[in-house]
């Protein structure tokens, strides 16, 4: 969910593309006088523009005397540095969900040593950062089908990513449609060998995208089983 102010170029950064089944709500208001006819015309024109149609821009849509206000940037004093920087630590419980797997690019996930497993969290973000969204990244399916095992592997990978980066959101797309429930990708024969599934990441400080793409590719291959070796409720430590 995000708002776009047509007079603010920066607000368009979060709307690179509009996908099938996404809800778009348009508000229009003539500020100088009451003019519902002009408001309705402006909304209809914007709908046509988004649909890719040629449109006529009524000069009355633009009021050059009104400039959007921008909040002045205020420099905030830096908080005092603490001894332990960049996050927090959690003591692992060998029977609970905090036991993690450590993965390297060349090997499958392996169990961390008891007493040394850690979850590195990020410090809370300072206010004023601008949220952005990445371009779409393609993940080609190299398994014969993208079946239930591949779906479960992707769920584990995404869970690991969002545990590491809780302020970021991963968006999955297939054939131009936003996939809100990844389980819907498992319909026998729906996603075949050679098909591409796309993803984007949105948030303020986007990290770990190349790793995420690599692991999702592995999860869409015959090597997906390496992500399924943990019990229910346990999270992979991939990032």
Q: Provide the domain count of the chain.
A: 2
The answer to whether residues 57 and 105 belong to one domain is no
Instruction: Label each residue of 141-199 as H, E or C.
Output: CCCCECCHHHHHHHHHHHHHHHHHCCCCEEEEEECCEEECCHHHHCCCCCCECCCEEEE
For residue 198, pLDDT over 80 is answered with: yes
What is the per-residue pLDDT for 157? 95
Position 107 pLDDT exceeds 60: no
Q: What is the pLDDT of residues 86-106, one digit of tens each?
A: 433 333 343 443 333 334 344
Considering the domain architecture, whether residues 109 and 32 belong to the same structural domain is answered as no
Window from 138-147, 174-183, 214-223 with minimum mean pLDDT:
174-183
Q: What is the pLDDT of residue 119?
A: 38
Please tell me whether residues 33 and 141 are part of one structural domain. Answer: no
Residues 56 and 111 in one domain: no
Query: Does residue 145 sit in the same domain as residue 208?
Result: yes
In a domain, 74, yes or no: no
State the pLDDT at residue 109.
46
Same domain, 204 and 107: yes
Asked, for residue 4, whether it belongs to a domain, the answer is: no
Residue 215: in which H helix or E strand, if any?
A: helix 209-219
Residue 86 lies in a domain: no
The model's confidence at residue 42, banded by pLDDT at 50, 70 and 90, is: confident
Domain hosting 40: range is 9-61
- One domain for residues 18 and 105: no
**Interval 193-207 mean pLDDT:** 92
Q: Which residue has the tokens 């797997």?
A: 101
Q: Quote the pTM value.
A: 0.52
What pLDDT, on a 0 to 100 scale, did the predictor assign at position 2?
65
Q: How many whole angstroms separate alpha carbon 51 and alpha carbon 151?
A: 32
8 A C-beta contact, residue 217 and residue 146: no
Which of 73, 88, 170 lies closest to 130, judged by CA?
73
């Amino acid at each position: 969910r995000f708002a776009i102010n047509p007079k603010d170029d920066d607000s368009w950064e979060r709307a690179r593309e509009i996908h099938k089944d996404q809800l778009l709500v348009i508000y229009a208001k003539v500020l100088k006088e009451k003019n519902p006819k002009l408001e309705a015309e402006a909304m209809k024109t914007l709908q046509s523009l988004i649909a890719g149609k040629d449109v006529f821009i009524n000069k009355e849509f633009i009021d050059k005397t009104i400039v959007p206000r921008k909040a002045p940037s205020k420099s905030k004093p830096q908080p005092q540095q603490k001894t332990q920087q960049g996050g927090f630590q959690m003591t692992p419980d060998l029977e609970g969900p905090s036991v993690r797997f450590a993965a390297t690019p060349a090997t499958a996930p392996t169990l961390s040593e008891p007493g040394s497993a850690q979850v590195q969290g990020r410090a809370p973000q300072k206010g004023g950062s601008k949220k952005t969204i990445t371009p779409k990244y393609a993940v080609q399916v190299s398994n014969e089908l993208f079946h239930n095992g591949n779906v479960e592997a992707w769920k584990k990978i995404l869970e690991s990513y969002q545990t590491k980066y809780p302020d970021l959101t991963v968006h999955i797309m297939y054939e131009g449609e936003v996939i809100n429930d990844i389980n819907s990708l498992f319909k026998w024969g729906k996603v075949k060998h050679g098909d591409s599934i796309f993803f984007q990441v949105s948030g303020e400080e986007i990290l770990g995208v190349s790793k995420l793409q690599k692991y999702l590719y592995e999860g869409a291959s015959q090597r997906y089983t390496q992500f399924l070796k943990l019990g229910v409720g346990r999270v992979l430590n991939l990032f």
